[in-house]
Chain A
Amino acid sequence: MSSSSSSSSSSSSSSSSSEDANGNSGRRGVGDFGAPSLTRRRANNEIWPGPFVEDLVVQVAIDASRSFGRLAVAAALANVFQVCSTWQAVSRSDPLWHRLTTVIWGRTHCMHASWREEYVYRHQTAQNFRAGRSFYHTLHFDPASVDNPDGLTCRCLTLSDTHLACGFADGTVRLFDLSTRQLVGTFYPHHRDRLGRFSRAVSGIVITDPRIIFATLDGDIHVAIIDGEPLARTAHLGNVVNDGALVDFTGCGRWWVGLYAGVPGRALHVWDGNTEELAYVNTNLTDPEAVRGWYTLTELIETIGRVRVTGQESAVACTSLRYMVVDLRNPEFPLHDREWRRGLTVTSLDTNSEAFIMVDNRGLAIVRRVDTLEEVCRFNTRQGNVNVMGCMNLGYALMCAAGVVRVWEIEHGQHLYSLNQNVEEVNAMVADDRHVAAAGSDSWIHLWDFGAQ
């Protein structure tokens, strides 16, 4: 390991090597006049201070990621490590790989033996997404176990690192283990008077190990333990008359966010995920859809609104006319609030940790940064006026229309490929950095696993 040795420096008062920002002519000049200088043995590699080289590696990674994309970072780092053994020594530092994995891949939780392995895994998984290499599976459950035919309609999907949760129109939530792809849990909400055929339909699910939290259209929020009892505890009793129908529900560890339609001025509800208390209620985002909000309880209609959270404790919510970005720590003052004259396809909204994607009614998809609304890329899905179901992860966006799932990379908006499998009418689709899942109206769920082998 290199240490910052206090070596005597050569103080050449005039250096005859030319100044060049690239330092390409870095040779020491012949005429080192001035004070007697102890010529440094320049080729002594041990002089480079270890912490400096670590910072340098992180900086090279960030630069490569910005210039060429996340997949190019590893090659840039390999070039640095091959320079000399001192520079290579820092690649042994697992904290360095922890920094790199957090900065480049946004992972804070290590699922492998070391952070270096975690980095390599994320890199290879992203390559698989790029190249379209995946393993396809179908997840099944027994349709005979379902009495109500609505129980076969999957309304929403949520992925975690270990599980896939599916919410159905009769209020059931089914949990699949991603490594075994088996059904490992079924959860039900408490019985309540129903206010309409779909009032118990699941609007959204949040997985925060070991809890699984799901909300139904009537505004109830239920909490269950993943390995525990099937009957979930009601954490929050909804009140349809006061709040309207809960059309979408999402969250991360710290916050739960619900989007309502039906009662003016109560569109966004934010709960503290730890205390389960309501933190904020307001905005008029869904006011124009108030009447339609009531219809969701009894009929299957087009999605009214969608809300998704980002990694920066903010949420993006949209209806077909307007979208809004809200800081969950400070929801009273929305960060952004925009209308979109062309009309938005609500089911195309999704977020990753720093950006969100939306497709308008003419098929134009735009990815924007959440904090500044700066456009990251745009592409044409060529699906104007067709119901497009969209999802995205850190580097890729997937759009499903007319049974075909097409994949774009979102650094430049380049179309990559279409998934080989044809999917029927898709009601819900979700993607994270390893899996993609889609559900239709039958009793099975499509799952693509892009994980590195």
Chain B
Amino acid sequence: MGSTSTKIKLRTSDQKVFEVEKAVAVQSQTIKYIYENGCPDSVIHVHSVSGDILSKILDYCKKHVNSAAGKEDISPEELYEWDANFVKVDQNTLFDLILAANCLKIESLLDLTCQTVANMIKGKRPEEIRTTFNIKNDYTIEAEEAVRRENKWAFDMLGGVGTMVIEELADDTMSKCVTNTKSRVCVIAANQIVMMRSISKLANKKSIDVYKQPQNPTTPRIKESVKQRNVGTGFIELFFHFKCKM
């Protein structure tokens, strides 16, 4: 029953007061908890949310409550489209929505914004993601290197064909890797790629000596010798010995 539905008052960080139906407000687990454990008539302060954002969020909650209760005749596909339009906002607002949904603990809105951000990230490299969300790269050079090395396994030979990267080249470097004949080896020194070689070309040779003439005078010159041995079906272990002149 309940012909006059209970209303809850919410005060935002910028001192705006909203009065909403209880069913709508308790979509937020935080508000629900405060309401059930505090004095029902008092105003609930939502410090971390501004009036504009709360207004949008209450729109969202109302739409979902009404559609679930059958008060609004809206099909699941239409609701899905409404949600999609709801998050078509500028990046600042999206961010505010995420923070507010996290603070107010609104599960479905968190899922929606999470999916939205995931879609925006799809296929992007880290620099592009930073630009999209205006995130500052707070890595030091060493830290960034460390993270790249930590995640190197993710890029190794995707699908059997990939590039094995040998970095930090100094003179008289010995390097060993286990790879397959379909891969390539890429050698980077002084932030430049000095060599890219297909391993299948090395596969039939026990050891080779190569002295690479660089086009760019700042590119290090390297002399490499390679030994390889089979260590199982499809595995090749490669020993690289680099002599490098910067």
Main secondary structure on chain B at its contact with chain A? helix
Bound form: Cα–Cα A74–B162 in Å: 14
Please give me the 4 A-B residue pairs with the lowest Cβ-Cβ distance, nearest first: A26-B91, A6-B48, A74-B154, A131-B160
Bound form: Cα–Cα A10–B95 in Å: 11
Binding site for A on B (CB under 8 A): 13-14, 47-53, 88-96, 98-100, 102-103, 110-111, 113-115, 117-122, 124-126, 129-139, 143-144, 147-148, 151, 153-160, 178, 180, 182, 232-235
Contact residues in A for B103 (Cβ distance below 8 Å): 4, 6
Bound form: Cα–Cα A80–B121 in Å: 8
Indicate whether A63 reaches chain B with its CB closer than 8 angstroms: yes
Known: A13-B52, A82-B126. 13 other contacts (CB 8 A): A6-B48, A7-B48, A11-B14, A11-B51, A21-B88, A60-B121, A67-B122, A78-B151, A82-B147, A84-B138, A130-B160, A133-B235, A135-B233
Binding site for B on A (CB under 8 A): 4, 6-13, 15, 17-28, 35, 40, 42-43, 45, 47, 49, 51-52, 55-56, 59-60, 63-64, 67, 71-72, 74-75, 77-88, 120, 123-124, 127, 130-136, 420, 453
Contact residues in A for B14 (Cβ distance below 8 Å): 11, 35
Decide: A49 near B98, CB < 8 A? Known: A26-B132, A79-B129, A133-B180. Answer: yes
Bound form: Cα–Cα A134–B235 in Å: 8
Contact residues in B for A27 (Cβ distance below 8 Å): 134
Asked whether B136 lies within 8 Å of A43 as measured between CB atoms, the reply is yes
Contact residues in B for A74 (Cβ distance below 8 Å): 151, 153-155
Decide: A49 near B53, CB < 8 A? Known: A56-B118, A84-B138, A85-B143. Answer: no
Asked whether B134 lies within 8 Å of A42 as measured between CB atoms, the reply is yes
Bound form: Cα–Cα A84–B235 in Å: 35
Asked whether B122 lies within 8 Å of A83 as measured between CB atoms, the reply is no
Asked whether B178 lies within 8 Å of A84 as measured between CB atoms, the reply is no
Asked whether B102 lies within 8 Å of A52 as measured between CB atoms, the reply is yes
Contact residues in B for A10 (Cβ distance below 8 Å): 50, 92
Partner of A123, one of B48, B124, B129, B154: B154
Asked whether B233 lies within 8 Å of A15 as measured between CB atoms, the reply is no
Contact residues in B for A71 (Cβ distance below 8 Å): 158-159
Asked whether B124 lies within 8 Å of A79 as measured between CB atoms, the reply is yes
Residue of A nearest to B234 (CB): A133
Contact residues in B for A79 (Cβ distance below 8 Å): 121, 124-126, 129
Bound form: Cα–Cα A60–B116 in Å: 10
Partner of B132, one of A24, A45, A51, A132: A24
Contact residues in A for B180 (Cβ distance below 8 Å): 131, 133
Asked whether B178 lies within 8 Å of A453 as measured between CB atoms, the reply is yes
Asked whether A83 lies within 8 Å of B130 as measured between CB atoms, the reply is yes
Decide: A45 near B136, CB < 8 A? Known: A78-B154, A85-B143, A420-B233. Answer: yes
Decide: A51 near B157, CB < 8 A? Known: A11-B14, A83-B130. Answer: no
Asked whether A23 lies within 8 Å of B90 as measured between CB atoms, the reply is yes
Bound form: Cα–Cα A59–B96 in Å: 20
Asked whether A127 lies within 8 Å of B156 as measured between CB atoms, the reply is yes
Bound form: Cα–Cα A79–B233 in Å: 31
Min C-beta distance of B123 to chain A, whole Å:
8
